[in-house]
Structure 1
Amino acid sequence: MARNLLKSGLFADVVVWNRSSAKCEELVKEGAKTAATPAEVVKQCDITFAVLADPSAALEVVFGAHGVLEGMSASKGYVDMSTVDESTSQKIAEAITAKGGRFLEAPVSGSKQPAINGQLIILAAGDQGLFEEALPAFSKMGKKSLFLGAVGAGARMKLVVNSVMGCMMGTLCEGMSLADKAGLAQGDLLEVLGLGAMACPMFAQKGPTIQAHNYPAAFPLKHQQKDLRLALELGEKLGQPLPQAAAANAKYVEAMDLGHGDSDFAAVHEAICKK
């Protein structure tokens, strides 16, 4: 995402920081400037984009020592593109606006390859003026940017989307395992699925990795499990039963226990196909 901002040539400076500093090195070689802390990034930039692994990381970067709040001042924008729960997003929004800043949550739908290709779907909510100012950057990171309303709507939409995705992957892995046990070729199953109403890019992309039991991480399984957990918490809060998501989540937890947390989320297959 940062590389696409650099390549666009639209921005005078792209300043980067990462909790693992070595991850910034290639971007610096390509023209980015580096900062020592999140506070320094915010001080140097009109708009800061954050993409972090989970709620605890998102909160630490904002509220921790030399964090975002230390550099925040009037009119600066903070766009959190992490996938977090609504309460985390609300807490960050309140802190940013209390310092005079503007806040937008903007989690993305899409994994590694869409990020590389600038084809993410951006699910934004919060300060609409900041959304409009961020659109030139969003247009280089994604193929579609939606403004969904007040803070919390973006977080909820992302959890709903990833809940559906996690369940679909679990169902595909069950079908692949059942076909195998039934003496059917898994490739034939994938062909049938691809020709009918259930055809979808995810099945086409992930089917061969499931067949090969080889799961290079485009979207780590541990993050899919985190999103299912947060979706289940949202469902409980709203009184909406999510039995399919609960069953899927149990299998992702099992796959993590088998050591597949850093593998692609298709590795849930290993928890489903066990003899």
Structure 2
Amino acid sequence: MAFAAVTPLARPVSAMLRCVPARRPSSFFGAVVPLSSSVPATFSRQAGATPGATPAVASVARSASAPNAPEPIHLLGACGQRNLRDRAIQASSTRSEGSRALSSRAAAARGEVVAGAAAIPTIGFLGLGIMGTAMALRLVRSGYRVTVWNRSPKKTRPLVEAGAIAAPTAAAVTAACDITFAMLSDPAAALEVACGPEGAAEGLKAGKGYVDASTVDVETAVKVAQAVRATGAQFLEAPVSGSKKPAEDGTLIFLAGGDWDLYERAGPMLDIMGKSTFFLGPEGSGASMKLVVNMVMGSMMAAFAEGLALGERVGLDKNTILQVIEQGAIASPMFSMKGPLMVNGTYSPAFPLKHQQKDLRLALGLGDELAQPLPVAAAANEVFKKARREGHGRDDFSAVFEAVRLQQQE
């Protein structure tokens, strides 16, 4: 398989591109189906190919903000080498001050009504927790007609007050909407909402799309995809990197996999909710990427908490520790954001600790399936489990510091 270096078109992304065979896996585990319309020969975002040619991308990065004159991209290997500068300028997804490149669809994404424009898709949203509420609100405020549902109906109130429509079931949402997004808490919830009684699958049919942004394991992503496709609808997994504030600001990073056509159709909505999107391949690839990212994040946080607790134990000022770290080689936006919470002992949840521990558990499960040792992540998971047992599950995941402090005092 040939690979190519990529010069990023936009500030947040740089992706490795490779040639895609005429057939690709329909699931993470290797079953193959005809390429069909899942990955077209012509790309409308940051990667492109001659119409009718085999597409030259398996991992595509797309940004909601791109420079006016991007550097050329060169695709190498079996697909040959092409300068895609002109196509990139025409096709790349751009956003300036929150808007995409001028087109009727982009105007729809901004909530504008354009004479003669194609019908603006109706949007559904399932799951209105910390993340789902912020994401759905951005869609409502951008002018989309959004129908929402949550297992606890009272959580729909802020969305209804903003202009959304509340539906009684997940099936009612998907039946009423062209594209439905889901942001559920764990694999069990993702399966129940998609496949259970009055679930999303009951309202799906050909022409509709289901985008699952939940953080789940690969097996769950594949099961949901199969249930969705059995109805004739299209499926896209799109777990996110980011927490409450990025969700509110529309700066999430989407890690997508599944049906390319739906990835294209959902593009304007993804741009409203996020700053960049990676299309990684078939369903399961997005789930894997998310687990890798959150495994690293949890391990970093556990180590950070241990260092801060050790410094406190030997009499160092915690604020000074943060200043030293911020000015050195291990400076991290996460440390800058979470350090003050840990110093002050205030843990208003942006990313609940119970979800971080769940993601570590899922990552360790993936490692077990592959016989891949993950000793650092395993140790971090034990610390997060201890914090959950001590009652910090609903606190921000930086509250792991409290468990570390207690452990060092024992």
Q: Give 1:222 deviation, angstroms.
A: 0.3
For 2:373 and 2:318, the matched residues in 1 are separated by: 32
Which of the residues 195, 206, 221 maps onto 1:74? 206
Alignment partner, residue 184 of structure 1? 316
Q: Which amino acid aligns with 1:83?
A: T
Alignment partner, residue 180 of structure 2? 48
Q: Are positions 1:217 and 2:349 aligned together?
A: yes
Q: Give 1:34 deviation, angstroms.
A: 1.1
For 1:31 and 1:65, the matched residues in 2 are separated by: 28
Alignment partner, residue 43 of structure 2? none
Alignment partner, residue 153 of structure 1? 285
Unaligned runs of 5+ in 1: none
| Percent of residue pairs identical | 55
Deviations 1:129-180 (A, max 9, x none): 1001101000010000110001100000000000000001001100100111
* Higher share of residues assigned helix: 1
Q: Give 1:64 deviation, angstroms.
A: 1.4
The ranges of structure 1 where at least 4 consecutive aligned residues each deviate by more than 2 angstroms after the TM superposition are none
Q: Which amino acid aligns with 2:142?
A: S
Q: Are positions 1:31 and 2:163 aligned together?
A: yes
Q: Give 1:116 deviation, angstroms.
A: 0.5
Alignment partner, residue 18 of structure 2? none
Q: Give 1:67 deviation, angstroms.
A: 0.7
Q: Which amino acid aligns with 1:8?
A: S
Question: After the TM superposition, which residues 88-99 of structure 1 pair with which residues of structure 2 at under 5 Å, given as runs?
Answer: 88-99=220-231
Q: Give 1:63 deviation, angstroms.
A: 1.6
User: What SS does structure 2 have at the residue aligned with 1:273?
Assistant: helix
For 1:7 and 1:66, the matched residues in 2 are separated by: 28
Q: Which amino acid aligns with 1:92?
A: V
Question: After the TM superposition, which residues 60-139 of structure 1 pair with which residues of structure 2 at under 5 Å, given as runs?
Answer: 60-139=192-271
For 1:14 and 1:20, the matched residues in 2 are separated by: 18
Question: After the TM superposition, which residues 257-268 of structure 1 pair with which residues of structure 2 at under 5 Å, given as runs?
Answer: 257-268=389-400
Q: Which amino acid aligns with 1:135?
A: G
Q: Are positions 1:2 and 2:136 aligned together?
A: yes
Q: Which amino acid aligns with 1:56?
A: A
User: What SS does structure 1 have at the residue aligned with 2:391?
Assistant: coil
For 2:351 and 2:139, the matched residues in 1 are separated by: 21
Alignment partner, residue 335 of structure 2? 203
Question: After the TM superposition, which residues 216-235 of structure 1 pair with which residues of structure 2 at under 5 Å, given as runs?
Answer: 216-235=348-367
**Bigger radius of gyration, 1 or 2?**
2
For 2:333 and 2:261, the matched residues in 1 are separated by: 34
User: What SS does structure 2 have at the residue aligned with 1:210?
Assistant: helix
Q: Are positions 1:21 and 2:153 aligned together?
A: yes
Deviations 1:74-132 (A, max 9, x none): 12100000000000010010111111010000000000011011110000000011001
For 1:164 and 1:200, the matched residues in 2 are separated by: 13
For 1:100 and 1:247, the matched residues in 2 are separated by: 43
Q: Give 1:194 deviation, angstroms.
A: 0.5
After TM superposition, the score normalised by the length of structure 2 is 0.66
Q: Give 1:24 deviation, angstroms.
A: 0.7
Q: Which amino acid aligns with 2:227?
A: A
After TM superposition, the score normalised by the length of structure 1 is 0.98
User: What SS does structure 1 have at the residue aligned with 2:277?
Assistant: strand
Q: Give 1:65 deviation, angstroms.
A: 1.3
Alignment partner, residue 5 of structure 2? none
Alignment partner, residue 254 of structure 1? 386
User: What SS does structure 2 have at the residue aligned with 1:170?
Assistant: helix
Q: What is the aligned length?
A: 273
For 1:244 and 1:54, the matched residues in 2 are separated by: 23
Q: Give 1:197 deviation, angstroms.
A: 1.4
